[in-house]
Structure 1
């Protein structure tokens, strides 16, 4: 019996030594870079917004990540050396193997949040690498910075719902990485911030909040959580809103409409001024940014509807040469923009930026 106990003890010690042999770096390690509005907590970083990402470079053959999701509803793109796999963490703290058997050279690793803050937040604790691995300094952050404010179109809602007409609310079908916003940021190799929420509007939407009530939060679920705008100063800001305002204006009996307006439709002046004030608030945070007030590509962008006019009138009143308008063509298909339609939007926006923006 004593021999077995000794063997067992050595086995436990051996496993402990093996575990300690792993290269472990915590969430505060200087070699890790975060993008987007993330919240530092005592033992982890809280990832909330669509498009938030974690980046590290390492030399080694194996990589793991420790995560805990709020409800098990979030999905992430894990991008290693440009190759993408999807990670779906659950609501228990776990360590997930991201890659094994890599060549023993330098590798780039991104973990990109595909889903929205309404799908819950995710706690990131750190990375583990194989014995002998090294964590390498990241190159300097890219000079270009771009920030988006938008709704489901910008979030990438339903983008991979290939069977259901791109309208599924389920998290697996959301993918901000393939949204026009994500694609545009990737094209310019820019630092990227995305403040978006499906259903949100400027004056009213399918949510309890409007974007003017949400845009300055760090934690979108906490009205007392304020973002420090000095931490990220974009060169270009793209605002693509009003789709949900347009939809709700046709639903006077909806509780969200009644809560805002009762039984009376808001005036064109009210709508225009609400948009102008929001853009003015963005300008006050970023005095030197070039701001693109966009609309589309769902039905609010129809030329026969008044929403383009509201945007144009609001921008005209601001009398600011660095605030521009850009309207995506109405896609004229059911549901939310598909992967292909999002790419068309990205190509369109990139062309506009190339012609009108000086980085």
Structure 2
């Protein structure tokens, strides 16, 4: 046996020349992550809608290892910019998914979390490239950075349910085709989607409101705090008040009672609540442009007072870099479908291009 050759192979970690499989651990700097992701010693924890893992590599085969909390999360798997499959993760321990038969040369692989944190977390453990391949440097940073604070519309809730039943279960949700993701891709921007279906600023369909969630790393843990220094957006988009507009009219709802007691919030209370949240976000991001949008569900239908509440709240802040923009009521039942999400994106993109000069 040629021991010198053996020692050399061992010393050159996972060397292609030695014909070894290339293992890339979750904390490898050549892996690019997007979104609020908690890092452990051996895994990255993905929970928020739109969180992604991506890598550049050369090789004819690549694998990745995942474990899901409940088996309810879905991912879009993109190879060289194209979706090649919609994948449901399992809760049966750590599983390995493999993509074979690739052409020689460089490739880009992206795992995009379609579903939001309510359906659980996914642990990502890393990639393996078949022998003869190699990892390549991470892609250059995107041109812009965006963060969204929103509800089901921003998450792409029920976007792929074409039956009219407005089903929001995991198979029909896809944050990849939400207006949030579409707008980010249009502008070559990173985006963080700090959103949750059913959430409001004053009241939600569950015991958590955006002012209590916006600063969390793990949305399910009140003491898990996000480090805002890790990501500073150029643009913040707030699309909230749709759920407030419904629940503020339902005095028998348990969450109405918990937040308001027996008396509906006054216009002054509503305006102050919105203004307070926007001021909080401004405190975190002093230099960002902030666009307060609303739409495209019935909070913006003709005669709705909610755009007016937002306008008065923003006017009271006196900040030239905080804007309002109201997206027209889509006038169809249920949540926005793929076509309606694209229309929202087109509308927002035009506004941003005009006002931010992107």
Which TM bucket (shorter chain)? over 0.9
- Count of aligned pairs: 339
1:11 aligns to what? none
Query: Does the residue aligned with 1:318 lie in a helix, a strand or coil?
Result: coil
Give a deviation string over 1:213-267, Cα, whole Å, max 9, x none.
1000111011001111111000000000000000112211011111111111011
Query: Does the residue aligned with 1:291 lie in a helix, a strand or coil?
Result: strand
1:176 aligns to what? 175
Query: Does the residue aligned with 2:316 lie in a helix, a strand or coil?
Result: helix
1:7 aligns to what? none
1:27 aligns to what? 26
1:98 positional shift: 4.0
Contact conserved, 1:78 with 1:111, CA < 8 A, in 2?
A: yes
1:100 and 2:137 matched: no
1:145 aligns to what? 145
In structure 1, distance between residues paired with 2:327 and 2:88:
33
Spell out the pairing of 1:173-212 with structure 2 (5 A cutoff): 173-212=172-211
Contact conserved, 1:78 with 1:98, CA < 8 A, in 2?
A: no
Contact conserved, 1:23 with 1:128, CA < 8 A, in 2?
A: yes
Contact conserved, 2:143 with 2:187, CA < 8 A, in 1?
A: no
Query: Does the residue aligned with 2:78 lie in a helix, a strand or coil?
Result: strand
1:305 positional shift: 1.2
Spell out the pairing of 1:243-258 with structure 2 (5 A cutoff): 243-258=242-257
2:77 aligns to what? 78
1:61 and 2:84 matched: no
In structure 2, distance between residues paired with 1:98 and 1:288:
43
1:193 positional shift: 0.5
**Gap runs ≥5 in structure 1:** 1-19
Classify 1:26/1:189 alpha carbon distance in 2 versus 1 (closer, same or farther; 3 Å): same
Q: After superposing the two structures, state which structure 1 stretch, 151-160 or 40-49, moved more.
A: 40-49
1:144 positional shift: 0.6
1:96 positional shift: 3.1
In structure 2, distance between residues paired with 1:178 and 1:57:
23
1:345 aligns to what? 344
- Computed over aligned residues only, the root mean square deviation of the Cα atoms, in angstroms, reads 1.1
**Gap runs ≥5 in structure 2:** 1-18
Query: Does the residue aligned with 1:315 lie in a helix, a strand or coil?
Result: helix
Normalized against structure 2, the TM-score is what? 0.93
In structure 2, distance between residues paired with 1:300 and 1:163:
23
1:124 aligns to what? 124
Normalized against structure 1, the TM-score is what? 0.93
Query: Does the residue aligned with 2:33 lie in a helix, a strand or coil?
Result: strand
In structure 2, distance between residues paired with 1:169 and 1:97:
26
